[in-house]
């Protein structure tokens, strides 16, 4: 096998969290990152190669996830949820990885959240048994598709969102086809989908009570849709949304006084504001599950989410159990990196790198150059000394702010901003240990 090192022991998975991919899954050099000339092999054996990402053993660019950072983030999120009496249904749209989904469920997740029928199908086929479809599904024809999907997985539990009578019709049709009664969360919202006021919600709740294949299951929202660049205005807007959600919950509770219900909200930037507002309601009711849907937090980043956690710390949002010193910006670590080689040094202060819009997110900030590696050793720290100023399809323009020891062939380690739109550019990602050696490889399923 090209790149195999006989003296390298198989990478330990004990701290990686994900373990090996399914043995039936094979990769070869048509996959980005796998060295050219590598014939097809079972992904479960990838650690035997001893590939070093920083040492130049792979084909570049390549996406990696630090096993220890991911595991640390995962454990921190679950500890926070437990401390506040919340459950987790992580939004799996971020990595769209069945392996990640199983790892999170094994760690204690209630289930996972998905955004559409394709994502639901991937997760059900992959063996995930409990889903929140945290989105509106569209017209009644989608009910036919959902019904067929549910019919194929009779032991699966699927919870839907509804913000209109049309949404309820989709759920009712899916329940009719699959022969089951489907739990529906009434979605409220002020910035995206969702009912805008209590009177609209009252009508949807009333309609749901008349449908044979629909069961009122609770209330849901997404607070990130009302966020803005103004921190104070964001806190106020999320507070208003939480107030609306609580009012609509009271309506649902009055309609079904004995039923166990769900309160669901909470992304990866403002989950503390959701918990502060909703956990007292959940405790007072005593018959409700508070379910957060945070997804990107397990991977974190060097950009938009790093900034979000700084704002969270400014409002002391991550403190729990009276620990005012609990600091999210220190607890969570960026797990994702995209690695690329320097292809050209056409100007004294410019390095052209093999990383472009096909490889990395750029919708919420360009990648951040962290370090330069040569022959397996860090030859330059770039944070603060270099900046990506432009991306083409497959080229990154790295402007060097002062004399930095970077030459053609060096490997640049980039941090990213916004995990969701970085993962979806990759069919596979590599989990690495703390020495940047590949421990496992995992598929994504974005369609």
- Cβ count within 10 A of residue 428: 19
- Look at residue 22 in the predicted model and tell me its pLDDT: 53
CB atoms near residue 2 (< 10 Å): 13
pLDDT, residue 403, reads 79
pLDDT over 90 percentage in the chain: 89
Name the pTM for this structure. Answer: 0.93
Measured between alpha carbons, how far is 372 from 382 in angstroms, rounded to an integer? 7
Question: Which pLDDT score, from 0 to 100, does residue 321 have?
Answer: 47
**Of residues 168 and 325, which shows the higher confidence score?**
168
Mean per-residue pLDDT, 120-147: 95
As a whole number, mean pLDDT of residues 299-316 equals 95
Share of the chain above pLDDT 70, in %: 93
Question: Per-residue pLDDT for 279 more than 80?
Answer: yes
Please compute the mean of the pLDDT values over residues 404-424 and round it to a whole number. Answer: 97
DSSP state of 405: -
The residues, ordered by sequence, that sit 6+ positions from 426 with a Cβ below 8 Å of its Cβ are 32, 63, 444
The pLDDT, as a whole number, for residue 325 is: 56
Instruction: Note the pLDDT of residue 15.
Output: 36
Please report the sign of the dihedral spanned by the C-alpha atoms of residue 151, residue 153, residue 156, residue 158.
negative
Lookup: tokens for 194 = 């969702």
Burial of residue 350 (CB within 10 Å: 0-12, 13-18, 19+) is middle
**β-strand pairing of 428-432 with 62-66:** parallel
* Closest CA relative to residue 178, chosen from 158, 151, 207, 197: 151
Q: How many CA atoms lie within 13 A of 128 on its CB side?
A: 33
pLDDT digits (tens, 9 = 90+) for 65-88: 999 999 999 999 999 999 999 999
Average of per-residue pLDDT values in the chain: 92
What's the pLDDT at 215? 97
The pLDDT value given to residue 320? 58
Report in angstroms the alpha-carbon separations of 153 from 128, 136, 276: 10, 21, 36
* pLDDT for the residue 323: 58
Q: Which two tokens stand for residue 292?
A: 């957060």
- What pLDDT digit, counting tens, does each position of 317-359 carry? 997 544 555 789 899 999 999 999 999 999 999 999 999 999 9
- The reported pLDDT for the residue numbered 165 is 96
Contact present, 116 and 87 (Cβ < 8 Å):
no
Residue 196 has pLDDT above 70, yes or no: yes
Which pLDDT does position 191 carry in this prediction? 86
Q: What is the DSSP string of 374-435?
A: ETTEEEEE-BTTEEEEEE-SS-EEEEESS-----TT-EEEEE-S-SHHHHTT-SEEEEE-TT
pLDDT tens-digit map of 14-67? 334 565 555 478 999 999 999 999 999 999 999 999 999 999 999 999 999 999
pLDDT tens digits along 207-258: 999 999 999 999 999 999 999 999 999 999 999 999 999 999 999 999 999 9
pLDDT band at 304 (very low <50, low <70, confident <90, very high): very high
């Amino acid at each position: 096998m090209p790149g195999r090192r006989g003296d390298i022991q198989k990478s330990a998975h004990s701290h990686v969290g994900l373990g090996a991919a399914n043995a039936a899954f094979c990769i070869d050099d048509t996959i980005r990152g796998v060295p050219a000339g590598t014939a097809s092999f079972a992904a479960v054996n990838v650690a035997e190669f001893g590939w070093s990402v920083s040492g130049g053993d792979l084909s570049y660019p390549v996406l990696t996830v630090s096993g220890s950072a991911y595991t640390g983030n995962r454990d921190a999120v679950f500890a926070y949820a437990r401390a506040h009496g919340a459950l987790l249904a992580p939004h799996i749209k971020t990595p769209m990885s069945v392996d990640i989904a199983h790892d999170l469920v094994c760690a204690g997740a209630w289930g996972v959240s998905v955004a559409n029928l394709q994502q639901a199908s991937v997760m059900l086929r992959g063996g995930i048994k409990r889903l929140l479809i945290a989105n509106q599904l569209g017209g009644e024809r989608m009910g036919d598709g959902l019904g067929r999907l549910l019919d194929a997985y009779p032991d699966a539990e699927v919870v839907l969102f509804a913000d209109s009578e049309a949404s309820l019709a989709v759920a009712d049709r899916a329940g009719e086809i699959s022969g089951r009664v489907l739990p529906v969360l009434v979605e409220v919202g002020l910035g995206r989908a969702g009912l805008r006021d209590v009177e609209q919600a009252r009508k949807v709740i009333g309609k749901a009570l008349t449908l044979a294949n629909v069961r009122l299951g609770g209330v849901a929202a997404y607070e990130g849709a009302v966020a803005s660049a103004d921190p104070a205005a964001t806190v106020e807007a999320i507070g208003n949304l939480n107030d609306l959600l609580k009012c609509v919950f009271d309506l649902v509770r009055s309609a079904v006084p004995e039923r166990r219900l769900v309160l669901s909200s909470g992304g990866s930037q403002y989950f503390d504001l959701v918990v502060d507002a909703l956990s007292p309601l959940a405790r007072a009711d005593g018959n409700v599950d508070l379910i957060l849907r945070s997804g990107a937090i397990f991977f974190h980043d060097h950009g938009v989410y790093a900034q979000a956690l700084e704002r969270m710390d400014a409002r002391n949002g991550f403190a729990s159990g009276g620990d005012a010193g609990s600091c999210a910006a220190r607890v969570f670590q960026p797990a994702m990196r995209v690695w690329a080689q320097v292809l050209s040094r056409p100007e004294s202060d410019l390095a052209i790198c093999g990383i472009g819009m096909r490889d990395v997110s750029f919708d919420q900030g360009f990648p951040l150059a962290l370090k330069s590696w040569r022959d397996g050793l860090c030859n330059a720290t770039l944070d603060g000394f270099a900046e990506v100023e432009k991306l083409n399809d497959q080229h990154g323009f790295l402007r060097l702010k002062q004399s930095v020891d970077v030459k053609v062939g060096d490997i640049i380690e980039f941090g990213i901003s916004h995990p969701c739109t970085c993962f979806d550019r990759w069919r596979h990602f590599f989990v690495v240990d703390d020495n940047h050696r590949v421990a496992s490889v995992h598929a994504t399923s974005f369609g």
